Amino acid sequence: MKQFTFEAKQKNFLIATMGLGLLCLVLSYFLEPEQIAAAGVHARFWSNFLVNAVFFTGMAFMITFVIAAFTVAYAGWYVIFKRIWEAFSLFLIPGLVMMVIIGIAVYAHLNHLYHWSDTEAVAGDRVLTGKASFLNKNWYLFGTLIIVGAWIFFARKFRQLSLQEDASGKEVANYGIHRNLRKYAAVFLPIAAFTGPAMVWQWVMSLDAHWYSTLFAWYSMTSWWLGACALTIMLVIYLKSKGYLEQVTKEHLHDLGKFMFAFSIFWTYCWFSQYMLIWYTNNGEETVYFFQRKNDFPVLFFGNLVINFVLPFLILMRNTTKRRFGTLFFTAALVFVGHWFDYFYMIKPGVLNTAVEAMAHGKEGGHEAAGHAVEHASSFVAGFTIPGLLELGIFLGFTAFFIYFVFNQLSKAPLIPQNDPYLEESLHHEVQAYE
Amino acid sequence: MKGQHKEVLFGLYDDEVVLMNAIKKAKKQHLDIMDVYSPFPIHGLDTVLELEESRLHVVGFVFGMLGTLTALIGMSWIFGGSLLFEGDWPTNFGGKPYWSLPAFVPIIFELTVLFCAIGMTVVFYIICGLGFGVNNPVLDDRITDDKFCLAFQTNNMDSSSVDNLKGFFKATGAEEVHSRTI
């Protein structure tokens, strides 16, 4: 089957899941954990929105980056399922809307996710004053608009050229459209390399406004790519089970599995490099980040390593596990949830700190309440210490939204890019493995 | 088969595609191929020759684990502070506990890679019969340059079977056919 049809059954299921997610999101607005309820900042709602908005937008960004990298590198094997990645990359458009909602809320002080957005706190703080030229509401809102806008321009261009190639590719002499695509991809790579970290510093790292790490962007962007890679594997296997993409064989999935395996190790390398240097140097202002996470959020801290390193490493080590759809699907599901969990781990403790600090200058009995909250912050905080049921519901809802968007895009174009110059290579892709 | 000489009949091909077709034909006729020599790895050759998967990676895993354990036990023995060892030479680095896993991880990683690499190389040399002082006969020097070779062992073979093999080489497009005792 060359044309994907988005069936009503799938639509209904995905819309129902989105409804569940929306319900959980609304509920989390009202079910603020008691320890920080006095701050009145709805930290649980905003942080849940931020975790998912950042995770899914970032996956779309990394896939745009990977399309560009593969195009520039003359890679051919992925062409057969390229449409799925093009659909992923276009999710940058709803992603921008979500990030702008957060940006506007930061701008208008409707939320209190970021300590640096609190002008009163920044004025009395040498570190935050020094960072104010980057960590400010203008940079956050307009930086997001301009940078993600540029990403969308390239994602749409890649898609547009690919569709154009589909319609008229062989008539254009000397693969002109593909050469054009390669030029755009080459321009996008350095732009993505500089703007991607800038965005992830703004969106995620600045939650712990005093803290910084030069490895942070490597680590968090790898996390995005792994989430997207795992979701690709799951969607390809699903689409195959529905009778689409029959030319995608286990050879292609083996290579996707290898990507997931290798980048899980790379992710751990980044994670550990960041951790060990800070642990060894033991500078108070840096160590506090891990100290708090390890002691107050042990499930997040250790769970993150088990689910994102130990399990994929041990499961995917052998050839055979990467070539069996059942095992591969299971591991991909694990890694996908694992990297959402990773963003949860990066974001939640920082938001909790900001909420606790916000209570210090709340109007009624601020300082006393804040002291109380700090005591309680080390105990269990619903929706922060571990992902609760509401958080899982929201995650499912956003996943359904992402998949709905991807399927909708898939149904708009033929599944196989029939005039891509590398299609033939992709059809004959073989990795020569024993089973 | 030490001490025993091998009589080898081999054909030299100019092109790996011709060689691959010849191997497929030989397999179909149930001829007992001794070995195939090529100046470079040929895609799909293993499958056509019906070779079993190499177990070298198991060796790699075992040696890697050995490296991991060596590093872990070695450092535990030096620094102590763990359940098993008292500590042969406990040293204070930056006020960290004597036995601190994060500081050990790079060394564990390095020894794992080192043991794995050296172990695999040595085992690979042994199973290939290579090493110091070993003199392996080469059927034809051009095999290492631009010729592709298919070899049959002809010990205890009557002349009609040998002629049959020669006919096979001719039919499959071998440029030259030689026999040698090695």
> Tell me, what's the pLDDT at B1?
46
In the predicted model, what is the mean pLDDT of residues B146-152?
A: 93
pLDDT value at residue A374: 55
Which residues of B are less than 8 Å from A272 in CB distance? 102, 105
Q: In CATH, what is the architecture of B7-39+146-181?
A: 2-Layer Sandwich (3.30)
CB contact under 8 A, A280 and B105: no
Give pLDDT, residue A371.
53
Residue A75 lies in a domain: yes
Chain A residues whose CB is inside 8 A of the B106 CB are 276
R_g of chain B, CA atoms, integer Å: 26
Domain holding A100, by residue range, is 39-410
Please, which pLDDT band fits residue A418 given cuts at 50, 70 and 90? confident
A363, pLDDT greater than 50: no
Tens of pLDDT, residues A88-138: 999 999 999 999 999 999 999 888 899 998 888 888 889 999 999 999 999
Q: Which of residues 282-321 of A touch B (CB under 8 A)?
A: 282
Tokens for A337, please give them.
């949830």
Distance between start and end Cα atoms, chain A? 29
* Between A377 and A253, residue with greater pLDDT: A253
In chain B, what are the domain boundaries?
A: 7-39+146-181, 56-127
Residue A379 banded pLDDT, cuts 50, 70, 90:
confident
Cβ density class A407-420: b for 16+ within 10 Å, e for less: bebbeebebbbebb
Contacts with B69 (C-beta within 8 Å, 6 or more apart), sequence order = none
- Check if the beta carbon of residue B26 is closer than 8 Å to that of residue B168: yes
**Measured between CB atoms, does B41 come within 8 Å of chain A?**
no
Answer yes or no: do B102 and A432 touch at CB < 8 A: no
pLDDT digits (tens, 9 = 90+) for A276-299: 999 999 898 899 999 999 999 999
DSSP state of A117: G
Least confident range from A4-8, A159-163, A416-420: namely A416-420
Output the average pLDDT for chain A: 91
Above 90 in pLDDT, residue B43? Answer: no
Within a domain: A30:
no
For A13, A29, A380, the CA distances from A17, given in Å and listed in that order, are 6, 19, 28
- Among B52, B94, B105, whose Cβ lies nearest the Cβ of A282? B94
Q: Does A261 touch chain B (CB under 8 A)?
A: no
pLDDT digit string, tens, across residues B84-137: 778 888 888 888 888 888 999 999 999 999 999 999 999 999 888 888 888 778
pLDDT at residue A368, as a whole number: 53
Q: What is the pTM of this model?
A: 0.90
The token pair that represents A429 in the structure block = 């892709």
Best A265, A272, A305 member to test B by mutation, with max B CBs in 10 Å, is A272
Cβ neighbours, 10 Å, residue B131: 10
Asked if residue A327 belongs to a domain, the reply is yes
Q: What is the mean pLDDT of residues A387-408?
A: 96
pLDDT reading at A364 higher than 50: no
- Which helix (H) or strand (E) covers residue B11, if one does? strand B7-13
Do the interacting molecules here have an ipTM over 0.85?
Answer: no
pLDDT of A342 > 60? The answer is yes
Q: What pLDDT, on a 0 to 100 scale, did the predictor assign at position A41?
A: 86
Residue A335 lies in a domain: yes
pLDDT of A226 reads 97
B102/A280 Cβ within 8 A: yes
Q: Identify the band that residue A365 occupies on the pLDDT scale cut at 50, 70 and 90.
A: very low
pLDDT at residue B90 in the model: 87
Which of A265, A268, A276, A323 has the most B C-beta neighbours within 10 Å, making it the best mutation to test the interface with B?
A: A276
Q: Which value, in Å, is the radius of gyration of the alpha carbons in chain A?
A: 22
| Distance, CA of A213 to CA of A221 (rounded, Å) | 14
| pLDDT at residue B99, as a whole number | 87
Asked whether the predicted pLDDT for residue A338 surpasses 90, the reply is: yes
Contact list in A for residue B103 (CB cut-off 8 A) is: 276, 280
Amino acid at A73: A
- Say how many domains are in chain A: 1
pLDDT tens, B71-85? 999 998 998 876 777
Task: Flag if B102 and A279 touch (Cβ within 8 Å).
Answer: yes
Assess A276–B contact: CB distance below 8 Å, yes or no.
yes
* pLDDT of res. A208: 92
- Those residues with Cβ within 8 angstroms of residue A324's Cβ, 6 or more apart along the chain or in another chain: none
Give the whole-angstrom CA distance, residue A299 versus residue A293.
9
Position A55 scores a pLDDT of 97
Question: Does A279 contact chain B (CB < 8 Å)?
Answer: yes
The answer to whether position A364 is within a domain reads: yes
pLDDT of res. B137: 81
Q: What pLDDT score does B82 carry?
A: 65
